Amino acid sequence: MTHSEENYLKVIYHLSVVSPRGVNTNAIAGMIESKASSVTDMVKKLAEKELILYQKYQGVTLTEKGLLAAKMIVRKHRLWEVFLVEKLDFTWDEVHDVAEELEHIKSEKLINKLDAFLGFPTEDPHGDPIPNAKGEIKKIDKQLLSDLETGQKGICVGVKDSASSFLQYLDKQQIALGSKIEIIGKETFDMSLTIIVDGKEMIISNKIANNLFVKLAT
């Protein structure tokens, strides 16, 4: 598989979560930063290889084969992210682009040895699950901070958006994976939240709350 094919497969995999009945050509083009016509071409090739099901005008879905291949790419991406943060001291906002390149290195031995070297991590630095060598993914019990009610408490376990500006904002506010968050109040006008993060009170916008995953704590 070429780098380009792998990128398409990965994008289709991510979009499938939101559009399980078929991923649109334009949606793929948006993610790959290419044009719809290019997507049509590539999608035909992937269908030819039986990695996806494609019906003209109806979008695409992954086959079993394509799903596994996509998971293996995601696995590589996330394991490399762990490596970069844990071993090379990258910050969580710096890892994406490099991992985007590293995910295309073709060696099963490499990735499985790396997995072992890292201690078989189940989540990447952003809290996203890492598929194991068989493609199995440990479901993580999490919900958006914006869905909690006033008075509820949670532990930060992930981010929905990994844009570096967002991650840097979190660093600045000292919000990290593992932080204890309690909702003190909700502003009905803009849905901004007053929260206590590890004992420190602050106000965050709805957009922030809508991109932070927490695990409910008692």
Decide: is 90 part of the binding site for its own copies (CB under 8 A): yes
What are the residue ranges of helices labelled H in 141-186? 164-172
Nearer to DNA, 24 or 206 (CB): 24
Instruction: Give whichever of 10 and 142 is closer to DNA, judged by the CB atom.
Output: 10
Helix (H, G, I), strand (E, B), or coil: what is residue 100? Answer: helix
Among 14, 31, 40, 177, the residue binding DNA under the rule CB under 7 A is 40
94 vs 124, which CB is nearer to its own copies? 94
Q: Dihedral, CA atoms, 77, 81, 82, 86, nearest 10 degrees?
A: 160
Six token digits for residue 211: 């991109």
Task: Choose which of 39, 52, 156, 204 interacts with DNA (CB under 7 A).
Answer: 39
Give the residue, chosen from 20, 41, 147, 200, that forms a contact with DNA under the rule CB under 7 A: 41
182, 201 contact by CB (below 8 A): no
Name which position in 117, 174, 200, 203 contacts its own copies (CB under 8 A).
Answer: 117
First vs last C-alpha separation in the chain: 47
Least distance from DNA to the Cβ atom of residue 97, Å? 16
42 contributes a contact to DNA by CB under 7 A: yes
72 closest CA partner among 13, 113, 15, 124: 13
Which CB contacts under 8 angstroms, 24+ apart, belong to 161-165? Answer: 161/211, 162/92, 162/93, 162/96, 162/126, 164/93, 164/94, 164/96
Residue 106 within binding range of its own copies, rule CB under 8 A: yes
Question: Where on the chain is the footprint of its own copies (CB under 8 A)?
Answer: 84, 87-90, 94, 97-98, 101-102, 105-107, 109-110, 113-114, 117
Question: Where on the chain is the footprint of DNA (CB under 7 A)?
Answer: 2, 4-5, 24-27, 32-45, 54, 56-59
